[in-house]
Each structure stands twice: as C-alpha cells, then as structure tokens.
A and B are shown apart, each in its own frame.
Chain A
Amino acid sequence: MTLIDTDRPPQVPAKEWRARKPALLIDGDHDLCPGCGEPIALRSLLEVIEEIGWADRALAAVGIGCYTALTGLLDVDMVQALHGRAPSLATGIKRMRPDRLVFTLQGDGDMVNEGLQEVLHSAARGEAITCVLLNNGVFGETGGHMTATTVLGQRTKNTLSGRDAKYHGHPISMTDLLTPLGGVSYVARGTVTTARDVEKTRRYLRRALEAQIAGAGFSFVEILTMCPTGWFIPVTEGPGYLNETIAPVFHTGEFKVEGMVQ
C-alpha cells in the first residue's frame, strides 16, 4: 500500500489551511475519553475567538464537568466557578470589564441541573455574556448519570432501562427556555458529529460572540457532543447515536438572531 508521509509538512508548495490546534490551546494532549465531542467544541470556540480578533480580550468563567480537565490547556484568563454558577461569575466579570469578551463553558449537568436559575436570570437581565453549553445528556465526570437533558429512552446509570417519563420526567431544552426571554439576542444549537456540523457550530459561535461585542445582550450556543463512555456504547458509534437519539429531540439551528425569534 502506498502511504503518504504525514510526519512532516508537504515538500511541495502548499498553504496550511487548518493548523493542528488554535494558539489559545496550549496542547492537544488532553485526558478526555476517545471519541469525546467536548474538545472539538472547545477547539471550535477558541478558533472563532482568534478569528474575530478578541484573543487577548477574552475572559472565561468555567463550570465543573469533564471539560474542567481541559482548563489547564485553555490559554485564556479564567475563573473556576462552582457547579452551575458560571453565569453569575460571568455577570460580575462583564459588569466590571465591559470591554472584554466574557463567556461561560458549562455542561448540561452544570447548567441545566444545578444552574438553571442562574442562566435564566442572567439571560432575562440581558447580561452581555455568551454562555456555551456542552450537552451530552449525562453527568460524564461522575460516570454517566441522568441530567435534565437526558432524552426519553436514553440509558444512564440511574435510568438503566432507559429514561421513562413516568418515573424520571421529561428533558428540558435550553433553547426553548431562553428564546422567549426579552434580554436574549442570540440562541443556537449545533453538533460536532460531522465536518459540516462543526462548521455550522463555528458559525453559531461566531454570531453569538459578535452579538456580545455589538452590545446586543445575552447570547447562547448549545453544542451537542458525543459521550460514548457515558452512553455505554463503542466509540465509533458516538456520532450515530447522537444523530439518532439526541439530535431528533434537541433540534439544531438558530432559534433567535438579533433579538428576533426565527
């Protein structure tokens, strides 16, 4: 089999179209699981921050979840928040530094379980922050437990036969809750299962951050990510499971743009 050398850059004239990692990521060597969607989402966010020229003015309030393990590599000034509390920290940061680009990085357990009040009130007040939700429908860090976004039928450690509405209630969609609020200017949901989805998600992230920069109020991007470990499936089945089980419940797209419901 003829193979192409992939150790060194090409020896013929070429342009580097996509660098291996954004400058705002110290290293790609992280400890998250094989097939995890969160690093893809984070890398997209950092690339977008660089593209719009705000790399040296971005500040983060980070929640608690698997993604917390990435913070050692996230080369942005940040404060570590408690579970669910990042939106209030981001509020305090932005009120004192309105000239900075302030975002939160939170999982579904963090934002939709523990911190639902925080994000709703921050959004209703129209705080000029961008909240980023990494939604994999489980508490990944503790080993795969049900959250408020676990979909009906999904198996987790506390819904071993699949989430049943009668015993475990119904999932909550953040885009449904945030879109109607007056203080909210941008709401979108994307995934990271294919190249096309990742590129769309990058576009959503860019528009959310631009809304903040324009002083338009609260902006929000939810990113559905694969969690084969928390879903108890083989790694290669992650994207398929997401598209078949989760994405049909949590639709992707832009729900609110420039304050107008889409």
Chain B
Amino acid sequence: MTRKFVEGSEAIVEAAILAGCRFFAGYPMTPFTEVLDNMAAKMPEAGGVCINAESELEAIGMTWGALATGARAATGSVGQGLSLMQESFSEITRAELPLVVFNMARGQSDYYQSTRGGGHGDYFHIVLCPIDVHEAVEHVQLAFHLADLWRNPVQIYGDYLLAHTAEAVELERIAYGDLPPKDWALSGDLNGTGRSRNINSIGMFKGAKGIQPEQFWKRLQAKFEDIKIKEPRHEAEFLEDADYVVTAFGTTAKFVRHVVREMRAEGRRIGYIRPVTLWPFPSQAYIDCAKSARGIGVFELNGGQMIDDVRLSVLGAAPVEALGGISSDESGFGIGPLLNTETIRTILEEAYVRATGAKAMGAGR
C-alpha cells in the first residue's frame, strides 16, 4: 500500500507512470505547469522521456510521434493550449492513436472544446472528468487503458482546484483487462514487404495511389457509436424519489454533492447526477430521472455548456434550467465566488422551491 499526501498534479503524474506512460511533452501554462514539472522530474527516473517543447504545437507533435511507435504517451495543457493542439488532435484521433491528454482547464468553460471535438472533422475524445484527486488517480490509469482499448484519445478534464489540491491517495497500479498487441505501431520490420505501415487519418495505405477516405471515416464513426454505448459513466444519488435533480461536473460537483446531501438530510427530495464521462455523455441517467423529476438544474461555472447535453438527453421531458454561471476570481483561473457551499445552498433551495412549490425553509435554517 502506497499512500501519499500529494497535490493533484503530482498524483496525476505518478498515476500516469504507474500506467506505463513513458513519454510526455508539454509547455508551461498555469494551472498545468506543475504536471509538466512533475513529469520532468519523474519521467527520466522511470526510464521515460519528458520534453519541454517549444510550444504546444510541438508538444502534441512529439507525443504523436511517440504514440506512433506504440509507446504510452501523453501531453497536456489548459484550454488555451489545447486550442493550439486542435488540428493535431483531429488527425491523431482519426489516425486511431491512443493519446492521453491532461487538461488542467481554467475552470469549466472548456466543456464544449473537450466534448465537441474542437478541431476539424468528425471525431470525439473520450473525456473523463474527476471530482477530486482520488478519482483522478483512477481516471488517469483508466485513460491509458481505454485509449489503448479503443485506439482513441482520452482526455482528463481537470482544473486548477484539482491540480493544486493535496489529498492522501493510494498510488497503486490498477490492473485492467488484457489488450491486443500493437501491430499497427511503427518498427521497420515490414519495410520492403509492400505492407509497411502508414499511420494516417484518411485511410491511405501502401501500394495504393490516391485515397478512399469515405470507408475509412465511416468505420471510425461506427467506433464512436460503439463507444457511446459502452463507455458512459456517471455518479448519482437520491434519484429514486427525487422531485428535483441537480447536475454538475468536475471539482464543482463535490460542492454540489455536499449541498444535496445536506438538503436531503433536512427532508428535501432532491437528487444528484454527475457525469463522470463528459463524452460519451451519460444521457440515459437524465432520460430516466426526467420521467419523474419536476425539474433539472445544471450547476456549471460557465455561460452554459453542459446544459446543452442535458437538454438533448431529456428532449423536453422535464424542464432544464441553468443554475450556475460565469464565476471567477481576479486570476481568471476559475475559482470564483459561486464555488461556495453556502451560496450553492441558497441557489439550490430557491430552485427546489420554484420547481416543487415546497415551502421555503426559514432563514438561518
């Protein structure tokens, strides 16, 4: 048992190394920088390589090359840095490489960027969104497994709070199932046979002139449909008899969950859902609770992004309202005044009373 009291950034790096990650390239940017620092310190000790790239464009490029050799490789940044990497993300996804991305986002406004495939073309990243450092340690290892299983990138959507909060966590290697061998990885052994490899995003292969991308892209689309069936994950509490359901993602959800539990203890029939995968979005949980809940409140700290997925899931079966909003401190890194359990309690109380017609609790409850 290896129990360590570590900041999220360090825990993420330790988990990645446990999962066999042996290549990392990144560029410093707050609040991701400590992930890069930890990788620079620990990767060589683990026999791997960490490069401080000249920009995010090259960081993702180097990781792309490392992935092509069959290595477990990752990169990371914040939303702004991921913006620079989008063209490469699209190509890497459609070339079916198992990229892992650590997104220490500056808050919750990068939900669209992560879940809509922010670059060109039809593609999706699997997005795991941990609620705390403990879950992040599991998600990082799961990410490498799912990436190899599906030959598709997996993103960890973290944030400032996750990266900079210290928790005591178990740093143990989690064993997942067996994976097929990486026959597709470049090695040179097929050179000169007429069947050498071309890792590319449009279905090019050796011996052919010209490209036939349609078949290739349709097969990729079928893979995304399969992932949508098999990989959605969510956490839910108190849904069986909930009159009103609150939903939130990431570290913000820890505050919301705490408040929901408090309200339940005081007799409010309030429920809670947290998507653990932002993509594929766990629509079924929302479809089910919309059958009986009188309203769904989306508490997210942005201008309204996840709310689209909630609305698309329930398709009008229950009213969906935005409860959060843009909230930031002077740094702009996403820890704003709304991230406060008393404030959230007030908001959820008002929403609950509005939706259910219940009597408001007295002040100073």
Whether A and B touch directly in their complex, counting CB atoms under 8 A apart, is answered as: yes
Please tell me which one of the listed residues A30, A57, A69, A77 contacts residue B196 in the complex, with CB atoms under 8 A apart: A77
Flag A7-32 by CB within 8 Å of B: 1 or 0 each: 00000000000000001101101110
C-alpha spacing A55/B201, complex, angstroms: 25
B64 within 8 A of A: yes
A178 within 8 A of B: no
In the assembled complex, which residues on chain A have CB atoms less than 8 Å from the CB atom of B49? 95-96
B51–A79 CB distance below 8 A: no
Q: Which candidate, B67-75, B148-156, B157-165, B277-285, is the interface stretch facing chain A?
A: B67-75
B66–A77 CB distance below 8 A: no
> A79-B200, A88-B58, A92-B66 in contact; A58/B209 too (CB < 8 A)?
no
B57 within 8 A of A: yes
Q: Which candidate, B108-116, B122-130, B187-195, B347-355, is the interface stretch facing chain A?
A: B187-195
Q: How large is the interface on B (under 10, 10 to 19, 20 to 34, 35 or more residues)?
A: 35 or more
Question: Chain A residue with minimal CB distance to B60?
Answer: A88
B window 176-205: CB within 8 A of A = 186-194, 196-201, 204-205
B200–A117 CB distance below 8 A: no
B window 267-325: CB within 8 A of A = none
Question: Chain A residue with minimal CB distance to B88?
Answer: A82
Could you tell me which A residues sit within 8 Å of B by CB distance? Answer: 23-24, 26-27, 29-31, 55-59, 61, 69, 71-82, 85, 87-97, 100, 117-118, 121
A75–B192 CB distance below 8 A: yes
A59–B186 CB distance below 8 A: yes
In the assembled complex, which residues on chain B have CB atoms less than 8 Å from the CB atom of A58? 188, 191
Q: How far is the CB of B210 from chain A (nearest CB, A)?
A: 8
Could you tell me which B residues sit within 8 Å of A by CB distance? Answer: 22-23, 25, 49, 51, 53-55, 57-69, 71, 73, 87-88, 91, 95, 186-194, 196-201, 204-210
In the assembled complex, which residues on chain A have CB atoms less than 8 Å from the CB atom of B23? 92, 95-96
In the assembled complex, which residues on chain A have CB atoms less than 8 Å from the CB atom of B95? 79-80
In the assembled complex, which residues on chain A have CB atoms less than 8 Å from the CB atom of B208? 72
B192–A92 CB distance below 8 A: no
C-alpha spacing A69/B73, complex, angstroms: 29
> A23-B192, A26-B207, A71-B198 in contact; A78/B186 too (CB < 8 A)?
yes
In the assembled complex, which residues on chain A have CB atoms less than 8 Å from the CB atom of B91? 80, 82
A93–B207 CB distance below 8 A: no
B196–A75 CB distance below 8 A: yes
> A58-B188, A82-B87, A89-B61 in contact; A75/B204 too (CB < 8 A)?
no
In the assembled complex, which residues on chain A have CB atoms less than 8 Å from the CB atom of B63? 92
Question: Chain B residue with minimal CB distance to A80?
Answer: B200
Ordered by A's residue number, 20 sampled pairs between the chains whose C-beta atoms are within 8 Å are A24-B191, A57-B188, A59-B186, A61-B65, A72-B198, A72-B206, A75-B191, A77-B191, A77-B196, A79-B186, A80-B91, A81-B61, A81-B64, A92-B62, A95-B51, A96-B49, A96-B65, A100-B187, A117-B55, A118-B54
C-alpha spacing A190/B159, complex, angstroms: 51
